[in-house]
Amino acid sequence: MESTSKTFFSLAKHPLRFRLFLLAKLPSAYFAGVRVLQAGEESCSVSVPYKWFSKNPFRSTYFACLAMAAEMSTGVLSMAHVFKRKPAVSMLVTGLEAKYFKKATGITVFTCNDGLVIRGAIDEAVSTGNGQTLTTRSVGKNDQGDIVAEFLITWSYKPKTL
C-alpha cells in the first residue's frame, strides 16, 4: 500500500505532469496557479498566488481560489491513499467550513497534516465495508507566516462494490 501512495506522490510533485492533470481535470485550479509544493504520507502543502485570475475586487485572493488550494491539500492526501486501492474507494467532499483572518495579498500556502488520519479512515472503510466520513483541516499562511485562512473539509470514503 505504501508504495502505491509513494507513486502517487511522485506524480503529484512532478511539475509538468501535475500541471497537465490540472489543465485536463481542474482547469480553474490550473489558471489560478495552484501548485503542490510538498506531498508525503502525513502532510501536503499547496500554494495559490495573488494574481489576475485569482483576485477579487478588494485587492486580495478570491475566497474560492483559497478554497481550491485548501481542498487540494487534503485531496492530494486522500487521492494518494485511495490510489490503485483494492477494492477501489470512492471519495467525495461532503462539507466545507472556512474562517478568514487576513487578506491574502501574496502567495498563500495551505498545509494539511492529516495524512495518517485520512489513511486510517480509508482503511476503516475498506475493512468494514462501510463508508466513513472525516473532517480534515488545512491552514493557509502568507509569506510572513501569518494565518490567512483555515478550512475544515469533510470527506466521505466508501469502498466500491462490483
27 pLDDT above the threshold of 80: yes
Domains along the chain with CATH numbers: 2-159 (3.10.129.10)
What is the structure's pLDDT at 125? Answer: 95
- Chain-wide mean pLDDT for the chain? 90
Average pLDDT, stretch 15-39?
86
What is the structure's pLDDT at 86? Answer: 86
The predicted-structure confidence for 30-86, as pLDDT tens digits, reads as follows 889 999 999 889 999 999 999 988 898 999 999 999 999 999 999 999 999 998 888
Query: Residue 108's pLDDT band (boundaries 50, 70, 90)?
Result: very high
> What would the DSSP string read from start to end of the chain?
-HHHHHHHHHHHH-HHHHHHHHHHH-HHHHHHT-EEEEE-SS-EEEEE--SGGGB-TTSSB-HHHHHHHHHHHHHHHHHHHHTT-SS-EEEEEEEEEEEE-S---S-EEEEE--HHHHHHHHHHHHHHSS-EEEEEEEEEE-TTS-EEEEEEEEEEEEE---
pTM given for the model: 0.90
